[in-house]
Structure 1
Amino acid sequence: RFTSFFSELWVLIQGLAHSLRPLLWMLIIAVILLYVFAVAATELIGRRTIFEQDEFVQERFGNVLRSMLSMFQLMTLDSWGFDLARPVMAKDSFGAVFMIAFIGIGVFIFWNLITAIIVENAYNMTKSDYAHQAKEQEGQKKRELKVLTELFIEMDKDGSGELTTEEFLGAMQNKKVRVMLDAMGLNVSDLADVWTLLDDGDGLLTIKEFTSGIRRMEGLAKARDLAFAMKHLRQTALSCAELRASAIQYQDMIKSLETDLRQLAEDTGEVAGLFSECYHRMQAHIEKTQMQDFFAKRKRAIMKQEVEAAEEAAEKGVEETARKAAGEAAEEAAEEAA
């Protein structure tokens, strides 16, 4: 906690520590730069004819050491305008140009280069620190996954690879499970709510659902988790809106189907009436035809009986005629015989 509170200071200190070697080389370069310009200032300003009797200039540029001190004053921008540049420029403007050129090289380039080196080292240390933190987080994640996997295996009594509601809620009877949950900072009194949050609706928990869900619930909510929850809520709201629109559409379709069914019922009633009328007419025609057939059969039977009676009567008449003819023939024969 202390290290995380002073993390920026620690990164800065590490950056400075790693910048010591480049800064040492920059210091050597600065000394060389000061010496080169001090030699040039001594020759171009201190030993010029117009400045030989000038005590002010000789005090500042009379020899190399004095010139190096003056160049260092220019490099630090310590009252360089009124203390160095303007007195020299009053007699020779070239001296002011020389000083401005040194300021451009020694200040705007050299000091910014030193700042860039320090910033680059601090940036590299920050990247290294982030990489170290990422490595630590990855190790922590692996350890948590290992613990959660062991917890899942401990809860899975039947070894099916999936947790049921009974196995999940009944795991609290196991002391080892309670200890592991307490160590992870999870409240065992809210397991029903935990199951509701972890379950995706199928009534079973796989090891992936269990481990990822518990890791998201552990500790404080992160921005990524909140964004995921908001996205899930937006998707749910969108799904509800789509379902509402589909329900309205289906309601309109049902109303249309009801209208069509009523029309079909009316049409079916008319068809049924026509069919019933046709049926009754056909039934009447069949009955009429049956009656006609019955009377025709009866008439044919009567006619047949009459024909048979007439034939019998004719046969009887022929027999009587034959008997009469035989009697008459016998009488004639008797008369002839007599």
Structure 2
Amino acid sequence: MLAKAMKRAVYVMSLVFFMFIFAVAGVLYFGEQASGDLEHWGDLGSALLTIFGLVTLDGWVDLLKKVDSSGVTYSRLFLIIFILIGHFIFFNMFVGLVIMEVERMTKAREEESLQERKAAQKRKKQKINNEAADWESGECRLSQGSESRVLHKTEWETPVKK
């Protein structure tokens, strides 16, 4: 269990590290004071937010136009490589991890529900067995509302007089 959790943590940390490297590269390439895109690449925080937006493919075409207008060579290559690697590989891996965790939780809940049903069936069986044993011993339990009493065989075999 711990090994699976560590494996998943490594996947998520590799995605975060990959995003951090591209954010730093984006600040270096596109965050120049004179001709850069300071809104998206001016500092590391905004670059990380921009990179996250690229992973989710939110507004990547508009960002590509802004980066192209800055005149940096290979700007399209930078964004397309990040989108291909970041979105199609790492983002889908992250979504897969979330789906696997939901599936694991669903199986655990189903197992818990099954155990509860088995316990309820066991209680019902025990109650039926107890009632059968009482019947064989000549006792009959009567319950009416909050009152409960035991009739012996002699009492329940006698006819009721009207």
TM-score normalised per structure 1: 0.34
Q: Show CA shifts across 1:2-46 (max 9, x none).
A: xxxxxxxxxxxxxxxxx9xx67983x5444222211233345x33
Check the 8 A contact 1:86/1:96 in 2, yes or no.
no
How far 1:59 moved relative to its partner? 5.3
1:33 aligns with 2:33: no
Unmatched 5+ residue regions in structure 2?
146-162
Q: Show CA shifts across 1:129-180 (max 9, x none).
A: 11112112212222211211222223336xxxxxxxxxxxxx8xx641x43x
From 65, 72, 84, give the equivalent of 1:86.
65
Secondary structure (helix, strand or coil) at the match of 2:58 reads coil
Alignment: residue pair count:
139
1:46 aligns with 2:30: yes
Q: Percent identity?
A: 25
CA distance in structure 2 between the aligned counterparts of 1:98 and 1:66, rounded to whole angstroms: 17
Check the 8 A contact 2:23/2:44 in 1, yes or no.
yes
> AA paired with 1:102?
F
> AA paired with 2:18?
L
Q: Show CA shifts across 1:166-219 (max 9, x none).
A: xxxxx8xx641x43xx9xxxxxxxxxxxxxxxxxxxxxxxxxxxxxxxxxxxxx
Larger Rg: 1
Q: Show CA shifts across 1:294-332 (max 9, x none).
A: xxxxxxxxxxxxxxxxxxxxxxxxxxxxxxxxxxxxxxx
CA distance in structure 2 between the aligned counterparts of 1:54 and 1:63, rounded to whole angstroms: 14
Name whichever structure is richer in helix by fraction.
1
1:12 corresponds to which residue? none
Higher RCO (CA < 8 A, seq sep 6+) = 2
Check the 8 A contact 1:38/1:64 in 2, yes or no.
yes
Check the 8 A contact 2:30/2:36 in 1, yes or no.
no
